[in-house]
A and B are shown apart, each in its own frame.
Chain A
Amino acid sequence: MINTHEVVETNQMIEKENLDVRTITLGISLLDCIDADLETLKKKIYDKITTVAKDLVHTGKEIEKKYAIPIVNKRISVTPIALIGAAACKEPADFVQIAETLDAAAKQVGVNFLGGYSALVSKGMTTADEMLIRSIPQALAKTDRVCSSVNLGSTKTGINMDAVRLLGQIVKETAEATKENDSLGCAKLVVFCNAPDDNPFMAGAFHGVTEADAIINVGVSGPGVVKTALEAVRGESFEVLCETIKKTAFKVTRVGQLVAKEASKMLGVPFGIIDLSLAPTPAVGDSVADILKEIGLEQPGAPGTTAALALLNDQVKKGGVMASSYVGGLSGAFIPVSEDQGMIEAVEAGALTLEKLEAMTCVCSVGLDMIAVPGDTKASTISGIIADEMALGMVNQKTTAVRIIPAVGKKIGDRVEFGGLLGYAPIMPVNPFGCDAFVERAGRIPAPIHSFKN
């Protein structure tokens, strides 16, 4: 039988160390909504989302109560809209209308974000893909809860550099279209290499075409829990350090697994995966940076950071894999700047640079995340940053991403404020040298040699 010590430990994790389930994301396929008439399509989309997801928020709250564990976000991901709108949309403005429909549906069911305003163009862009991409700035400016993502490359296909070039401009246009809110639109736009079909985390969640009609994916969290566990083993060997992280990740993931199973049962929707990510929030004590410090770094960004992060990421996976029957999504430590108080402090202290962050993304999930740069950063420079990150993902056969905010009117020393889970970010310096001639080349970067495994 459960003993007092175990009960106290669990409740301490919840109450003092910010243990929570970060998100229950309901993936919904919209493939059966496809119609050549835009009005009919919009109606079908709205009806499907508001029907399938009508109990999502309520169910989440019920589970929270049953176990006294906070479930921070209830979200929805849908099939990439470039596919759904291809038959009906004749111009980018038509896609914007679909975004508004998604926003209305999200508000109706009470979720805080809906992902899937997306295009998968790792090898080439269809006319519809390109229209959707061109509609992103307006779509994100005119909606509150819609998130957008574009897959620009993969290990199997190489990198679509035409799309990378276009996205550099789109990121700039999105910043401009939402400049009244510190270019908030860019916080809802992420580009990927090797985007997973079952990622529950925003802004990059979409419901892949390999998925069933509907699926429950759950993202767990708990950087604070890992940090506290590590406080008890200061100065111990790497073996002890790794064991501690692993055991903690196991416990955290088991809670996610329980919640996922319960949500799946209550909603009558199959369980998909648990995403084993350590996702920080701006709240004090909920920081991946603090774990790195506890491992022994003065600040994230110091020499040793990449090794410490590699170790952390691997142990989280090893503990988590044993705790869940299916893992997937991004699964690893997130290192967003604006969403992690410790990362913000490291940037402000001058310890953490864009280049070091890039190195760190080689060994953990996702990539350059929530990074604010000066508003006058050129589109081609942003494309260059994206291309670098895509190359890391392509060659290392892992997911990488870029979510960058060229904040209009801001310069180094300023700060952008997004509020809530998105936090705030100091403006980081970007390498001033150009890459225009590289980015201007047409076509795509071929897939690396080690992708040919047949």
Chain B
Amino acid sequence: MKKTIITVVGKDTVGIIAKVCTYLANNRINILDISQTIVQEYFNMMMIVDLGTAEKPFDTISDELAQIGEEIGVIVKCQREEIFNSMHRI
């Protein structure tokens, strides 16, 4: 399992989750956990996904997700889980 954290931050609009999830489904990326809040009209989403079954390399997925983010006016960021584990777990 290659756990990766996807965060989406930006102004709330219709179809953010749909667009991101469609991309993930098309690329055989399984979603393990998803949480979402809206703070002062700002959309804040975090997903934990598994890139283990994905065919594309991390780099490409990260770039393509960022591209989708640009199209809908939000920032989509892809990070390997290890950075959070190292920082927040002993």
B partners with A: yes
Q: Which residues of A contact B58 (CB under 8 A)?
A: 65-66
Task: Say yes or no: B84 contacts A2, CB within 8 Å.
Answer: yes
Q: CB within 8 A of A255: which of B33, B81, B87?
A: B87
Q: Which residues of B contact A10 (CB under 8 A)?
A: 83-84, 87-88
Task: Say yes or no: A68 contacts B78, CB within 8 Å.
Answer: yes
Task: Say yes or no: A2 contacts B81, CB within 8 Å.
Answer: yes
Q: Measured between C-beta atoms, what is the minimum distance from A24 to chain B in Å?
A: 15
- Could you pull out 22 A-B pairs where Cβ atoms are within 8 angstroms? A1-B32, A1-B48, A2-B84, A3-B35, A4-B37, A4-B46, A6-B84, A6-B87, A8-B44, A10-B88, A65-B62, A66-B58, A66-B79, A66-B80, A67-B83, A68-B78, A68-B79, A251-B88, A254-B86, A255-B86, A258-B83, A258-B86
Q: CB within 8 A of A2: which of B59, B77, B78, B88?
A: B88
Bound: A65/B32 CA distance, A: 22
Bound: A6/B87 CA distance, A: 9
Q: Measured between C-beta atoms, what is the minimum distance from B26 to chain A in Å?
A: 22
Q: Measured between C-beta atoms, what is the minimum distance from A377 to chain B in Å?
A: 45
**What 1/0 flags go to B19-38 for Cβ under 8 Å of A?**
00000000000001101010
Taking each of A2, A7, A8, A254, which has the highest tally of chain B beta carbons within 10 Å of its own beta carbon?
A7
Q: Does B5 contact A (CB under 8 A)?
A: yes
Q: CB within 8 A of A258: which of B44, B62, B82?
A: B82
Q: Does B85 contact A (CB under 8 A)?
A: yes
Q: Does A69 contact B (CB under 8 A)?
A: yes
Q: CB within 8 A of A254: which of B32, B46, B87?
A: B87
Chain A binding surface SS class: helix
CB closest residue in chain B, given A262 = B82
Give the size range of A's interface with the partner.
20 to 34
Q: Which residues of B contact A9 (CB under 8 A)?
A: 88
Interface positions of B from 49 to 90, Cβ below 8 Å from A: 58-59, 62, 77-88
CB closest residue in chain B, given A322 = B90
Number of A-B contacts (CB under 8 A): 57
Q: Does A325 contact B (CB under 8 A)?
A: no
Task: Say yes or no: B59 contacts A7, CB within 8 Å.
Answer: no
* Given known A1-B33, A11-B7, A67-B80, contact A257–B48 (CB-CB < 8 A): no
Bound: A299/B37 CA distance, A: 40
Q: CB within 8 A of A7: which of B46, B80, B82, B86?
A: B46
Q: Measured between C-beta atoms, what is the minimum distance from B39 to chain A in Å?
A: 10
Where the two chains meet, the residues of B that have a C-beta atom closer than 8 Å to any C-beta of A are 5, 7, 32-33, 35, 37, 44, 46, 48, 58-59, 62, 77-88
Bound: A126/B86 CA distance, A: 46
Task: Say yes or no: B62 contacts A7, CB within 8 Å.
Answer: no
Q: Which residues of B contact A8 (CB under 8 A)?
A: 44, 46
Q: Measured between C-beta atoms, what is the minimum distance from B57 to chain A in Å?
A: 11
CB closest residue in chain B, given A258 = B86
Chain B binding surface SS class: strand
Q: Which residues of A contact B86 (CB under 8 A)?
A: 254-255, 257-258
Interface positions of A from 64 to 90, Cβ below 8 Å from B: 65-69
Q: CB within 8 A of B77: which of A11, A62, A257?
A: A11
Q: Which residues of B contact A2 (CB under 8 A)?
A: 5, 48, 81, 84-85, 88
Task: Say yes or no: B62 contacts A251, CB within 8 Å.
Answer: no
Bound: A7/B44 CA distance, A: 11
Bound: A254/B35 CA distance, A: 26
Taking each of B33, B48, B78, B87, which has the highest tally of chain A beta carbons within 10 Å of its own beta carbon?
B87
Interface positions of A from 1 to 58, Cβ below 8 Å from B: 1-4, 6-11
Task: Say yes or no: B77 contacts A68, CB within 8 Å.
Answer: yes
Q: Measured between C-beta atoms, what is the minimum distance from B20 to chain A in Å?
A: 15
Q: Which 5 A-B pairs have the closest CB atoms?
A: A67-B83, A254-B86, A258-B86, A6-B88, A2-B84
Interface positions of A from 245 to 260, Cβ below 8 Å from B: 251, 254-255, 257-258
* Given known A65-B59, A66-B58, A251-B88, contact A4–B83 (CB-CB < 8 A): no
Q: Measured between C-beta atoms, what is the minimum distance from B8 to chain A in Å?
A: 11
CB closest residue in chain A, given B32 = A1
Task: Say yes or no: A7 contacts B7, CB within 8 Å.
Answer: yes
Bound: A69/B82 CA distance, A: 12
CB closest residue in chain A, given B88 = A6
Bound: A4/B86 CA distance, A: 15
Task: Say yes or no: A4 contacts B84, CB within 8 Å.
Answer: no
Q: Measured between C-beta atoms, what is the minimum distance from A103 to chain B in Å?
A: 32
Contacts A6-B87, A9-B88 known; 18 new A-B pairs at CB < 8 A: A1-B33, A2-B81, A6-B84, A7-B46, A8-B44, A8-B46, A10-B87, A10-B88, A65-B58, A66-B79, A66-B80, A67-B79, A68-B83, A251-B88, A254-B86, A254-B87, A258-B82, A258-B86
Q: Which residues of A contact B87 (CB under 8 A)?
A: 6, 10, 251, 254-255
Bound: A67/B62 CA distance, A: 11
Q: Which residues of B contact A4 (CB under 8 A)?
A: 35, 37, 44, 46
CB closest residue in chain A, given B75 = A15
Bound: A1/B58 CA distance, A: 21
CB closest residue in chain A, given B84 = A2
